[in-house]
Amino acid sequence: MKRPPRFAIKRAAVNGDRASVEGAELHHLRDVMRLQAGAQVMLLDESDTLYAGRIESFGQDHALIALSGEPDAIVVAAPLILAVGLIKGSRMDFLVEKAAELGATELVPLLCQRSVIRDPGAERFERWRRLAVAAVKQSLAAKRMVIHSPRSVAGLVREVSKETRAVVCSPAGLPFASVIQDTRPNALTVACGPEGGFAQEEMALMISAGYREVSLGANRLRTETAALAALSIAIGVRAEFAARG
């Protein structure tokens, strides 16, 4: 059965058993998708609460949605955190969008010694947030990806909990899939370096903090390729675990 399209709203747009879709989301609903009154939709607010409903009517600047049933608070039981060295321009935009589509729960941009970009700026950061929201709508992912403010490798290491399996992509590591299969971690943090990789001091810091080196294969990959390949491997192995029960 085809699932209803999803639209982002603010919690304040919900009033009892009605909700209002406005602005860019209204344009997408009415003018791009050309949905009509009676169409079934899903609404996702900023706290990752999901509402089911149908379009009741259109006003000049809003669509009124009649909500049905109780809202669902989405809970993701298995955190999948991608920490990646900042890269330039549209390549970072692409990485953010695709990581959200694949199902990363968090993205941590890293300010590495070899990073060309030192400060993405508030405008670019806000663009990443918009891309993440659009990606969770398009992919119907369980939850929108949280994008953290940029931090150093030292800052990342301090924040990883002891319950999280942390790995760093490196040609010297064991195959990533085999590491996941052996340890079956619940929470997973994957670190990918910028172009040129992590500096020696950064690698030493992560290894001393318990990060395991993992390999993505023999080929040398760009940062965004490596990051998305790592996510795909992790998600695929997890799906295999779930299928086996």
Q: What is the pLDDT of residue 84?
A: 96
Tokens of 123: 């405008």
Rg of the Cα trace of the chain? 20
Structure tokens at 49: 């609460």
Higher pLDDT, 56 or 71: 56
Region 42-54: mean pLDDT is: 86
pLDDT at 57 over 90: yes
Average pLDDT over residues 16-37: 91
Q: Which pLDDT band holds residue 74 (cuts at 50, 70, 90)?
A: low
Domain count for the chain, please give it.
2
Distance (Å, rounded) from C-alpha 157 to C-alpha 112? 13
Decide if 11 is inside a domain: yes
25 or 70, higher pLDDT? 25
Residues 96, 212: one domain? yes
* pLDDT at position 241: 65
Residue 96 corresponds to which tokens in the numbers above?
Answer: 């953010």
Place of tokens 């992912």: 141
Q: What is the pLDDT of residue 89?
A: 81
Mean pLDDT of 188-204: 93
CB neighbours of 199 closer than 8 A, spacing ≥ 6? Answer: 112, 113, 114
Q: Which of 102, 107, 140, 139 is nearest to 238 (CA)?
A: 102
**pTM of the predicted model as reported, rounded to 2 decimal places:** 0.77
Give the pairing of strands 40-44 and 164-175.
unpaired
* Average pLDDT across the chain, whole number: 88
DSSP 38: T
* Nearest alpha-carbon partner for 121 in 112, 109, 132, 133: 109
73, 93, 113 - which closes a domain: 73
| pLDDT in the model for residue 26 | 92
**Which residues constitute the domain of residue 37?**
6-73
Tell me the mean pLDDT in the region 27-33. Answer: 90
Print the SS3 string covering 135-183: HHHHHCCCCCCEECCCECHHHHHHHCCCCEEEEEEEEEEEEHHHHHHHH
Residue 113 confidence (pLDDT): 92
Number of other residues whose CB lies within 10 A of the CB of residue 182: 9
Residue 66 and residue 86 in one domain:
no
Q: Which of 73, 88, 120 is the last residue of a domain?
A: 73
Q: Report the DSSP pairing between strands 146-147 and 164-175.
A: unpaired
What is the band of 238 on the pLDDT scale with cuts at 50, 70, 90?
confident
Answer for the pair 150, 42: CB distance below 8 angstroms, yes or no: no
The 3-state DSSP class for residue 86 equals coil
Residue 73: its pLDDT value, please? Answer: 63
Domain co-membership, 60 together with 119: no
Segment 176-185, tens digit of pLDDT: 998 888 777 7
Please check whether residue 169 lies inside any domain of the structure. Answer: yes
Same-domain pairing of 30 and 89 = no
State mean pLDDT over 90-109. 94
- For position 214, what pLDDT does the model report? 95
Last residue of a domain, one of 73, 94, 120: 73
CATH of the domain at 63: 2.40.240.20
